[in-house]
Structures are given as structure tokens and as C-alpha cells.
Structure 1
Amino acid sequence: MPDPSGARRHHSSALPLAWLAVGVVVYASLYPFTGWRWPAGASLWELMQLPLPRQRYKFDIWANYLGYIPVAALVHAAGVRGGRRPGPWWLFAVVAMSLLSFGMELTQQFLPPRFPSRLDWAMNTAGAVAGATLSALALRLGWVDLWQHARDRWFIHRSGGALALLLAWPLGLLFPTPMPLGLGPSWARLQDGLMDLLVDVRGAEEVLAWLEDSPPPEGQLSALPEAMGIALGLLGPCLLAFVVTRPGWRRVAMALGAAVLGLATTTLSAALNFGPAHALAWLTPVVVPACVLALSVAGLMLRAPGPLVAVLGVATLSASLMLVAQAPSDPYFALSLQGWEQGRFIHFHGLAQWLGWLWPVAALLWLAAHLGSLVPRGQDPG
């Protein structure tokens, strides 16, 4: 007898997305993770009462409310899709998100740059109530079943992790990249991070000396390496999508969607940094030919079996990482970084940077881990 609530187990993308959303909340709440200290003269009981805000800004109030809506919705959806009863799990999602918010506000009191408050906790909790309620409403109205039906028609079994990565891809593109669509750490940024990490480590002198003697490339990329980097940057997510998308016209839609989304997000990033008048400043003469090349290669894979696409995806992402790491830091890239690190994006800098750095690595590891379990075309169930 079917479960009237529709709560049966699925390998849902809601679960990895829920974990990602919780991680985003923790990161955004505790960034920049420096300057920890116990507030002078405060007892633990006083800290747990949370202070009232000194000033109330509408933006902060609404940001705290809206920020927890998708998190609670994903937590509720992940539980219900995993077989939990919708009613009790609604209560769990709300209480869990409220406790998470309280923990973040409590911890922020040990970070001098942050300003925790009881009002933030209340607005986060209200957002959690709204998010869990929206998820329950979607379940009640059958929207989740419609999504599952569409997903079964479009994607293979066990596609949740790849779909979560594809949804995170444009967020990584919001952080300035060494070249359009080129995710991953450049050598200049990687070198700075390693030197900061090892500067006080005993016995790391030789590594530090090697890093100092390996300066990052200077100048600008020539047309061919830049075109290859852009093409690989678009081809990587296309192939990741193809691995979990059923062969044929659906892969065409995924490739075109990736191209439109990638170019639109890059345009948005430039507009946020330099203003709408300079939104297309990143559009060099090689961008369009590179995208056409990437889509042409993707077109050859429209009916290729999943394992073959995965192997090509691993090679593509590896080559893309190597090209991005060798890309010089041009003036546009340096100016973009300055806008993020010193301007209005300071609170999102660390999170967006790590998404941009780690996305190709995570996608590569997902493809490598699932290579042996991918089902060839013709053997995929229903």
C-alpha cells in the first residue's frame, strides 16, 4: 500500500544541497574566523541571552529572514524524501535550524568583527518556519511528485550529487576568475595561501624557499591558451551534466542551459564589480569561439554512454585546473579581486572564493568515484 504522505526513500539531490546550505550558513556566520576572544566580563549565562541590536537595518533584518528559508526547506525536503514523516520532520527542521542559528549567534560573540543579536536569531527562526512550511506545502500540492516524475525522465538513478554540483557551479563563477569560466585556484592565489599557511611551520623553510623562487606568471594569456581554458571551463560542467542526463535532446538542453547560465553569471559578476555599464568587460574576442568549440565537443557526446563521458569529464576538469593554475594575474583580475576583498562583497569573499576554487576538484572527485558504478546506456532502469 503506498504511503499517503508520499514519503518514500529517494536518492534526492535535496540531501547534498541541504548539507551545502548548512555549510554556507556556518561559513557566512563565522567568517573571517579570526580574532577569537572571550568577551570581557561576560559570563556564559549572559552570553546565552544574546544582546539586542544597537541599530536595526532593514537589509540585515530581511537578509536574516530570507537566508534561512531555503536552508529549512532543503532540510525538510531531504528528510521527507528520505522516508521521514512530513509532520514531525517539519518540527525537526524548524527546531534544528533555530538551534543552528542560536549556536551561530552565540559563537559570533567570540568574533569582534561580528555583531550577534537576539533579533537575528528570531528572524532566522521565522525564516526557518517559512522554509519548512513552503516545503510541506509543495509536498501537499504534489509539486515534489511532479519534480520526481520529471527527474526520472531526464536523469539516471543516483544523480543527486551531480545535480547539487551543477547548482553550485554558477555560485563559484560569481567570484572573479583568472579567465572567463575558468574555475580553480590560480598559482598566484595558491602560492599566497601556502606561504601564509607555512610561514610559522617549523621545518618548512625549504618549501617556502621553493615557493618564493616560483613566481606566478605575469602579463596576459595569449589567445590560444585563453580559448582553451574557456572551452574547458564550459565543457566540464556540460560533461558532468551528461553523465547523469539521459542521452539525446535532453543533453542538448543541458549544454545550452550551461552555456547561457555560465555567460549570464559571468556578466553578473562583472556588473557587480564594475557597474552595469561594464558588465561585458570580460567578453574578449576568443570567448564566443571558445564556447562554440566547447558546445561542438559536447555535441559529439550526445549519445555517448555515461562511463565514456565520465572519463572525458575527468580529463577535461584536470586540464582545466592546470590551465587556470598557470594563468597570469592580469590587471582586470587583480581589480576584480580588490573589489571583492575591500569593497561591498567582503562578507561573501571567503565563501565565494572557496566555491570557485573547490568546485572543479569536487566535480572531478565525484566523476572519479562514480566511474565504476555508472550504468551504460541501454542498461539504465526505466
Structure 2
Amino acid sequence: MAAFPARASHSHVALYAALINAVIIVFLSLYPFSGWSYSGRPLFEFLFYPLPYYTRLFDNAANLLIYIPYGFSLALLLVPRWFSLLLALLVAALTSISVEFLQEFLPTRIASNLDVLCNLAGALLGAVLAVSPWLRKHWHHLWQWRRRHFVAGSAVDYALLAMGLWFLTQLNPALPLFGVVAYPQGLPQPYLSPLENPRLFLFLLEAGGAASNMLAVCLFITCFVANKAERGKFIFLLLLSAWLLKLLAAGALLKPFAFFQWVNPHLITGWAAGFLLSWLLARCSRMVQTFLAILALAIAQTAAVLWPLGGVQADFLSLFRWPYGHLHNMSALVDFLSDLWPATALLCLGLGLWQQLAAKWQRR
């Protein structure tokens, strides 16, 4: 019974997780959102087709896996277990049929009833996991871990959800780790430099952007950690997890010659500076860390805006050994989430700052 209060109190977190999953599903299903036209065939006809004879295992697995977290988060919205499972299946079915219906108007997409069945299977699996007694037990342990290591307040729960979003932005190994800019793969490009030394200008943007981005991400976590002595441990775990994720993604997706595409001397300089600053500033008060995280976010985004070189997506995709059709969607999704994450982090930091000021005012 102890798991129910925690679950009920986190209904907003589950709701936002479900919304984020819905946005990802819609983006992957309808990208590139162009070429809309009506073929003239009866609407919803795809639901009554015979199941396709030829299928690809990757597509079916992807359609199943992407709905598992969606069904999981939907099933956490309500306390009655089996009612929440039915709600998750109903909403997932409506979502799947809706995006397949919209695919009928995209010439590059094919509406499929098999996709709907795979989506529902994934949603059912996620919902069953969410309502199972085994997970309720471990969910309670996870809630206790969160209470031990992080400060009180809903901002922490949203921040942990936002960190999951940030890790998704690292799934493209062609993009630099903690980098906010990337060198194009094609011919050298002319650009205007405000400094006399144009190489120094690029170095400052690339290394400075990586340092400020690492500082922002690290302080984003440590400003919610309750115990000062544990902040260094969380920085280490964050950086190690990000490094291992990039290595795993590079090994699985990139061609051998491009395995370390996401590493260069400018980035290493930025990482060293960002790590040193993160380690030192993690000792500051929560409020100071929150302000510094907001400032570091702003600097990182400014470096991205000032970066004068533009890459062509086809050049980056040539580094991969996967079929380009899937990579276009994945690359576009990572770019979209990378643009979304700073705003999400800023909202979490702003809410955390507001809760700190409210608690300080109440103590007076």
C-alpha cells in the first residue's frame, strides 16, 4: 500500500512523461511533415487490409518498443490498477490509429494495421509492467531513493524527467558529447570572424560551448541533490553514463573510421574546463548553483547561435552504417529534442528557484 501515495503524488510527472512520449511518437511517425496530399482512397481503409506478407523485423520491433514507455507512463496516471491499464490501452490505440490515419496523407509513409498491432502490444507490455505488483514494490524503493538523495519539491521530479530527455539527445554519436556545435563534413566554408584570429574564434565557440554545456548539465543535477558530499558522486555518474552512452551508440551506429567522430582536441579542452568548474561550483549553495546553471545554459545556446559553419545532413549521415531512411528520422528527432531540452531545463530550474524562494520566505 505504501506505493500508492507516491504514485498518486507523481501523477503530473507521469502526465508529462506521457506527453513527451506522445510528442516523440508523432514526430517519428509524421516526419518530415511535408508533401501532404489526399490519394482519394477510403479513409481508415488500412485497418481492414490483410496483414502484410512482407515485413521488416526492425520496423516491427521499433513500433513495439516506442510504445512501451508510453503505455507505462499512461498506466501510472490513475491509482486503480486495472482501470489505469484499460485507459493506457485506449489512449495508445487512439494515438496509434490517429498517426496511421495521418500517414495516409503523406506520400513517404504507408498506413499499416500491423503497425497498430505492434503499437498496442508495446503499450500493453508497458502498462502491465506499470501495474504489476513486482514493479510497485520496486517503484516504492525508487521513491525512497529519490527522497534520500534529492531535495523535496516537485521541481526535482520534473528535473529527473528532463535528464532522461537529455540522455535521449546523446543518442546521435555523430554529434559531439556536450558539444553545441559541429564541424561540417564537406569542403571548408568561408565565414566572418569578429576576432583577428579566425581559428581562435572557432576554438572559443567550440570549447566554450562544450564547457558551458557540461557545466549547465552538471549543475542542473547537483542543484537538486540534498547532500553536498554526494554532489561530486552525481557529477561522476552523469559524465560516466554520458561517455558510455556515446561509446555504445558510436559502436552500434557509426562506421569504424568515424568511431571517435564526437571527440576532438577543442572538445577535450572544453570538457576539462567544464568538469573543473562543475566540481568547484557544486560546493556552492543551491540558489547560486541554480543561477549559474541558467547562465551556463544561456552561454551554451549563444555559442550555438554564433557558430558560423553549417553542416549538411547528408554529410553526417554518411558516417553511419545504418539505412539512411531510419537515420533521417532519428537525426531529426535528436535535433528536435536538443532544441527542446534547454527550454525544459530552464523551466525546471525556474520552478526550483521559485520553490527555494518560497521556502526561504516561509522560514522568516
Tell whether the structures are fold-level matches, with TM greater than 0.5.
yes
Structure-2 residue corresponding to 1:15: 15
Partners in 2 of 1:76 and 1:342 — Cα distance?
A: 34
Partners in 1 of 2:251 and 2:258 — Cα distance?
A: 6
Structure-2 residue corresponding to 1:125: 120
Cα 1:47–1:119 shift into 2, 3 Å? closer
Partners in 1 of 2:313 and 2:30 — Cα distance?
A: 27
Structure-1 residue corresponding to 2:163: 166
Structure-2 residue corresponding to 1:253: 233
Aligned positions of 1:8-87 closer than 5 A: 9-11=8-10, 13-40=13-40, 42-44=41-43, 46=45, 49=48, 52-53=51-52, 55-77=54-76, 79-80=77-78, 84-87=79-82
8 A contact 1:179–1:324 mirrored in 2: no
Shift of 1:321: 0.8
Cα 1:216–1:66 shift into 2, 3 Å? farther
Bigger CA drift: 301-310 or 90-99? 301-310
Shift of 1:247: 3.0
Shift of 1:345: 0.3
**Structure 1, unpaired ranges of 5+:** 189-213
Query: Do structure 1's residue 92 and structure 2's residue 72 form an aligned pair?
Result: no
- Whose helix fraction is larger, Structure 1's or Structure 2's? 2
Partners in 2 of 1:344 and 1:302 — Cα distance?
A: 40
Pick aligned residue for 2:146 from 138, 147, 151: 151
- SS of the aligned residue for 1:116 comes to coil
TM-score (norm. length: structure 2): 0.82
Partners in 2 of 1:342 and 1:4 — Cα distance?
A: 44
Partners in 2 of 1:271 and 1:187 — Cα distance?
A: 21
Bigger CA drift: 8-17 or 125-134? 8-17
Structure-2 residue corresponding to 1:109: 104
Q: Deviations over 1:270-298 (max 9, x none)?
A: 55664244322332234344323222222
Bigger CA drift: 116-125 or 55-64? 55-64
Pick aligned residue for 1:290 from 258, 270, 281: 270
| Structure 2 letter corresponding to 1:250 | E
Partners in 2 of 1:292 and 1:56 — Cα distance?
A: 47
Shift of 1:11: 3.5
8 A contact 1:178–1:327 mirrored in 2: no
- SS of the aligned residue for 2:223 comes to helix
8 A contact 1:5–1:85 mirrored in 2: no
Query: Do structure 1's residue 181 and structure 2's residue 161 form an aligned pair?
Result: no
Partners in 2 of 1:172 and 1:371 — Cα distance?
A: 25
Structure-2 residue corresponding to 1:349: 331
8 A contact 1:173–1:183 mirrored in 2: no
Q: Deviations over 1:332-353 (max 9, x none)?
A: 9983266589565012232111
Shift of 1:45: 5.6
Partners in 2 of 1:380 and 1:336 — Cα distance?
A: 53
8 A contact 1:187–1:326 mirrored in 2: no
What is the aligned-residue identity percentage?
26
Aligned residues: 349
Aligned positions of 1:150-299 closer than 5 A: 150-156=145-151, 157-158=153-154, 159-175=156-172, 180-183=177-180, 222-268=202-248, 270-271=250-251, 274-299=254-279
